[in-house]
Amino acid sequence: MDDERGAVTAEFAIVLPAVLLVLGLVIGGILLAAHRVVLTSAAADLARLEARGDAELAAARLSELGGGIRADRESIGGLLCVTLGSRPGGGALAVVEITARGCAARSDAGRGEE
């Protein structure tokens, strides 16, 4: 019976790191997915605000997100597209960059054609 007790301890010592690794990967994946949702929503908000000319509100919305977020803007025809990128985590997550893009029609896009 004493031999079984040692075997259980050895099995636990082998299984525990694997369980912790899987748990860490799941939690990291959830954090990355949540960050992607936040960036997607913010990119759409920024595109809408900047497309209608509210640069001050757009800057305030971007500052709400905190530092470390890169914002790139691109005009495609009558659309203004905003791409946000960031590295949300520390440690092993720091190598992953999350990007999200939102586009909106410019409010002045068709005024000269009327």
| Higher-scoring residue by pLDDT: 53, 6 | 53
Beta bridge partners of 82: 73, 102
- Alpha carbon distance 39, 102 (integer Å): 9
Is it the case that residue 3 has pLDDT exceeding 80?
Answer: no
Return the pLDDT at 111.
46
Q: What is the pTM of this model?
A: 0.76
Confidence bin at 112 (pLDDT 50/70/90): very low
Handedness of CA 48, 51, 56, 62 (dihedral sign): positive
Residues contacting 42, CB < 8 A, separation 6+: 61, 62, 65, 84, 100, 102
- Report the chain's mean pLDDT, rounded to a whole number: 86
Model confidence band, residue 114 (pLDDT cutoffs 50, 70, 90): very low
98 has a pLDDT exceeding 70: yes
Between CA 51 and CA 55 the distance in angstroms is 9
Q: Region 56-63: what's the mean pLDDT?
A: 92
pLDDT at residue 109 in the model? 53
pLDDT score recorded for residue 2: 55
